[in-house]
Amino acid sequence: MVLGGYSAWEAHRPVIERIEIRLRKLPSAFDGYTIAQLTDIHYNEYLHESYYRHVVERVNDLHPDLIALTGDLVTTPLVHYERAGVARATAPPCAEALSGLRARDGVFAVLGNHDHYCSAPIVAAALRAKNIPVLVNEVRPIARGGARIWLCGVDSWFGKSYRPKVALNAAPAEEYRVVMLHEPDCADDVAQLGADFMMAGHSHGGQVRIPLLGAPVLPSKGRKYPIGLRTVNAMQLYTSRGIGLIHLPIRFDCPPEITLYTLRRG
């Protein structure tokens, strides 16, 4: 009973992970540039609306230069025919909650597997209605003092539009490219295309982690790089634990996470 109570308590206590990403290729104008990442929001009955408001407030208190939403705003129901209905019911209030996010260079999103399972068009429309761009194999330049880095949004591997090459080829290979992609194990594909840094989620870190053993259950495309900072070829990858819940309303040794990246030249 005590363990169960702690697991439910931990699920409602997001922590801020501060990660430095160091790369020689980074323009000096972007030394110290900050990106806040939220992933696996899973707007559902397990977490109250006040929890999401609290997350938004904590992100805004960090004053990031840019905010990246890396998928799974909604949660796939067990009954197939309810999927679009779940998206219609939960995507708009989720987007409404996220519309409170503030960053100097804006808020950008990509979709995750649950967004596609429910209804990618409904989820994307809800975000765009709140002026949050959804990048589907698209890029956006971010400028500072005459220099640029490129934000590359790649659609979920579980959708019908997973085309990392299209996104990466749209940005100059000689310039710094940051990738948003829901599934971390796609890093093997992205690294081969010359990306510099990739942000992912999907795995929830396992949601429950057993000391010394790790996560007993991990999803497909989230098993090779399920948590934390890795180097894949020459690319740096970070897999966030996310802020939401799925299947069970608990976390253990795997608290929800708001990630703040600081880009450093070096």
Domain boundaries of the chain, sorted by first residue: 2-265
| pLDDT at residue number 2 | 40
Q: Tokens 């999103």 belong to which residue?
A: 109
CA 2 to chain centre: 31
Q: What is the CATH number of domain 2-265?
A: 3.60.21
Residue 8: per-residue pLDDT:
72
What local confidence, expressed as pLDDT, does residue 25 receive? 86
DSSP characters for 164-211?
A: HHHHHHTS-TTSEEEEE-S-GGGHHHHHHTT-SEEEE-SSGGGSB-BT
Dump pLDDT digits (tens) for 207-235. Answer: 999 998 899 999 999 999 999 999 999 99
Q: What is the pLDDT of residue 260?
A: 98
Question: pLDDT under 70 in the chain at which residues?
Answer: 1-7, 9
Residues 207, 101: Cα–Cα separation, whole Å: 25
Q: What is the pLDDT of residue 247?
A: 82
- pTM > 0.75: yes or no: yes
Query: What pLDDT sits at residue 160?
Result: 94
pLDDT value of residue 45: 83
